[in-house]
Amino acid sequence: MADTKDRNPVHQCNKPYSISGDLGAVPPEGEQNPYVNALAQFDKTVEHLNLKSGVVDTLRYPKRELSVTFPVELANGDIRIFRGYRVHHSTVLGPTKGGIRYSPNVTLDEIRALAMLMSWKCALMNLPYGGAKGGVVVDPKALSRRELERLTRRYATEISLMLGPESDIPAPDMGTDSQVMAWIMDTYSMHKGYSVPAVTTGKPVEIGGSLGRTEATGRGVVNTIEQALKRMGMVPQRVSVAVQGFGNVGAVAASCCRELGMKVLAVSDSTGGILKEDGLDLDSLKIHKKESGQVSGFPGAENITNDELLTLKCDVLVVAAMENQITSRNADKIRATIIAEGANGPTTPEADEILNDRKVMTIPDILCNAGGVTVSYLEWVQDLQSFYWPLEQINLHLKNLITAAFNNVMACGESHRVPNRVAAQMLAIQRISDAIMIRGIYP
Catalytic residues: 133
Q: What is the 3-state secondary structure (H, E, C) of the chain?
A: CECCCCCCHHHCCCCCCECCCECCCCCCCHHHCHHHHHHHHHHHHHCCCCCCHHHHHHHHCCCEEEEEEEEEECCCCCEEEEEEEEEECCCCCCCEEEEEEEECCCCHHHHHHHHHHHHHHHHHCCCCCEEEEEEEECCHHHCCHHHHHHHHHHHHHHCCCCCECCCEEEEECCCCCHHHHHHHHHHHHHHHCCCCHHHCCCCCHHHCCCCCHHHHHHHHHHHHHHHHHHHCCCCHHHCEEEEECCCHHHHHHHHHHHHCCCEEEEEEECCEEEECCCCCCHHHHHHHHHHHCCCCCCCCCEEECHHHHHCCCCCEEEECCCCCCECCCCHHHCCCCEEEECCCCCECHHHHHHHHHCCCEEECHHHHCCHHHHHHHHHHHHHHHCCCCCHHHHHHHHHHHHHHHHHHHHHHHHHHCCCHHHHHHHHHHHHHHHHHHHHCCCC
- Is-contact 271 297, C-beta < 8 A? no
Cα–Cα distance measured from residue 83 to residue 106, given in angstroms and rounded to the nearest whole number: 9
Amino acid occupying residue 301: A
- Considering only CA atoms, which of 74, 52, 35 is closest in space to residue 323? 35
Non-local (6+) Cβ contacts of 246 within 8 A are 254, 267, 268, 269, 285, 289, 295
Radius of gyration of the chain measured on its C-alpha atoms: 21
- Within its chain, how far is the Cα of 62 from the centroid? 17
Cα–Cα distance measured from residue 417 to residue 201, given in angstroms and rounded to the nearest whole number: 37
235 exposure class (CB count in 10 Å sphere: 0-12, 13-18, 19+): exposed
- Is-contact 323 345, C-beta < 8 A? yes
